[in-house]
Structures are given as structure tokens and as C-alpha cells.
Amino acid sequence: VDVGNPDLWKVDPFQGDMRDGVIYGRGACDLKGGLASSVYAGKILRQVGVPDDVTLWVSCTVQEEDCDGLCWKYIIEEENFRPDAVLLTEPTNCNIYRGQRGRMEIKVQTEGLSCHGSAPERGVNAVYKMAPIIREIEALNERLKDDPFLGKGTVTISEIKSTSPSLCAVADSCTIHLDRRLTAGETIETALAEIRALPAFQQAGAKVWLEEYRTPSYTGTIFPMEKYYPTWVLEEDHPVLAAAVAGYRNLFDREPLVDKWTFSTNGIATMGLHDIPTFGFGPGLEEHAHSPYEQITTDHLVRAMAFYAEFVQRF
């Protein structure tokens, strides 16, 4: 994640400045804090003893910002590694999170016929063919499914591009990029079917497809993955969640807030694609992630490290 406009930062984003128990800088909240607490939880467990039947792995994966779950998909499918449970350390304000909405990256394209811009009636403008589709997608967003826990599914257009031989010519193609957020019960099939069913889509003879991620990692490895990140929710009565709640009560002497993330996590691979029981507990606030005021408190780091060690002993 880039720093964006450096003028918006009050500290050097790569300095790790600490003031009054708060650490500022890029990645402090998302996700260096969770990583630091995980490592020190391992140190605690070495001191107090790990249960004989438990093996603890701390996973430090890359490319999650570009393609959620990519590395975990690789670990599970290519390395044949399947843990009994996964604890995500994404920021939760030290609450327990048990799910998230899924998402998809979708392309819709219309095709036209280019001609000289001085006589547009001789061609077919692909942008004009796309215009009613855009209006219908905006209306579609209003009627998407809602869920009492995860919230509403959404769709928004995040990019529009057109092509033409020159700026003096009618556009011969127009492509829009859709950010589709999926709530419970929505799938890749239902989301694409909704687009194909739009009257303007059918009238325009438009195309729709799912984006594919093929960017090499820092090692040069290419692991293609469709940009479909399924919704996942850990059941309220699941034993993994029960162990997490019991550990929280024991540590902090109060009931935890059990909630969900607004953004996406690697849980789309561990539980969304592979049904491995997954939940989250992380230091920091969601709203600080990726922001020019990214920060994390040392109190949260200590709480998280204690919780991680407690959960391992209870699970």
C-alpha cells in the first residue's frame, strides 16, 4: 500500500514514530501490528508451554492487498497445508470477528463501430451503448440482497474506459469495472446472472467477465486466480468461536463484541473457498488502515499477543 499524498502525513510514514503509547506509520495497523503480536504470542507460549497436541504456525503472506486470499489459496492447494483453524490478525479493535462480505471484480464491455468524429451518425458509439447499462447497474445496487449480520450486497462502477482510433473518432469500445460486494447467499453465478439479465445489457449485446489476477510475486511465481472472493461466516455455535469467546472472557473479564469486517481478508480463501474454521482478532481500528493517520496503540499490541497465546492454549 503506497503512502498516497505525503503532505497528508504528520509523521514519516516509514519511521515508526511512537508518541504517548501510539505507533504511527504505514502498515502499523494493517498489518505489522498483528504480525508483531503473533510473534510475541509465540514467545509467550514457549515460556508457558504449548499443549502437546498443538502445532502453531505464524503465516506472513504477501499480495493480499492485490488479490485477497491468493497466498492462502496457494498454501492450501499447492503445498497441501490445511490447518484445523485460522486466526486472522487484521484489525478488529480487539474484538472477535467471524465473517465478512465477499467481493468480485467484474468487467462489462460494449462494442461499437468507429468513424470520423465529424460525422458520428456513420458509426456506432460504444459509450452511448454503455450509458443505459450504467443507469441500470446503479438501480440494481438499490435492490440487492440484505443480510441481518453481514449487511447489504452492493455494486458500484469504479472505472470507465473507452477506445477509439483517435480523439477525433467515435468510440469503438467501452469497458466498465464493477466492484461487487457479496452478502450471504450471493455467489459468482448469481452476481453475473444479474448483470446478464439487465435489459440494456441484452439490447447492447454486451459482454461480461470476471477479472483474473496473474501478477508475479517477488519470487517470480505466477499463481492465477479469478478475482472472486467468496463471502464467509463462522457459525455462532462453532467450537472455534466458543474457544475464542471463552479465552476473551478469561483474559478481559467481560463479554466480547462478536462482529464482522467491513473490508476483505484472507478468510475468503481459508473459509470462503476451503471451509477451514476462521475468525479474527486484531489490534488496531479498521478506519486507520491505508490512511495517512495509520496508527496502533501499544495497549492493543499487548492485548492481542495475550489473546493469541490464550486461544492456542484453549483450542
pLDDT at 278: 99
pLDDT at 52: 87
Residue 269's pLDDT band, with cuts at 50, 70 and 90, is very high
Helices and strands (H, E) in the chain, number of each type: 8, 15
pLDDT at 44: 95
Q: What is the mean pLDDT of residues 263-290?
A: 98
Distance CA 277, CA 272 (A): 10
Distance CA 289, CA 91 (A): 8
pLDDT tens per residue, range 185-241: 999 999 999 999 999 999 999 999 999 999 999 999 999 999 999 999 999 999 999
The DSSP string of 266-302 is THIIIIIIT---EEE--SS-GGGTTSTT-EEEHHHHH
pLDDT tens per residue, range 223-233: 999 999 999 99
pLDDT tens per residue, range 118-167: 999 999 999 999 999 999 999 999 999 999 999 999 999 999 999 999 99
- The owner of cell 469503438 is 172
Q: How much of the chain exceeds pLDDT 90, in percent?
A: 98
Task: Work out the mean pLDDT of the chain and round it to a whole number.
Answer: 97
Q: What is the mean pLDDT of residues 53-70?
A: 94
Q: What is the mean pLDDT of residues 77-97?
A: 98
In this predicted structure, which of 38-52, 77-91, 139-153, 263-277 has the lowest mean pLDDT?
A: 38-52
pLDDT at 159: 98
pLDDT at 50 over 90: no
Q: What is the mean pLDDT of residues 38-44?
A: 96
pLDDT tens per residue, range 168-185: 999 999 999 999 999 999
List the grid coordinates of 170: 467515435
Domain 6-101+231-314 has CATH 3.40.630.10: yes
The amino acid at residue 130 is M
Domain spans of the chain? Answer: 6-101+231-314, 102-213
- Torsion angles phi and psi, residue 138, rounded to 5: -60, -40
Residue 252's pLDDT band, with cuts at 50, 70 and 90, is very high
Q: Give CATH for domain 102-213.
A: 3.30.70.360
Query: Is 94 strand, coil or helix?
Result: coil
pLDDT at 51 over 90: no
Q: How far is CA 193 from CA 4, 23, 118, 157, 198, in A?
A: 36, 46, 38, 17, 9
- Fold match between domain 6-101+231-314 and domain 102-213: no
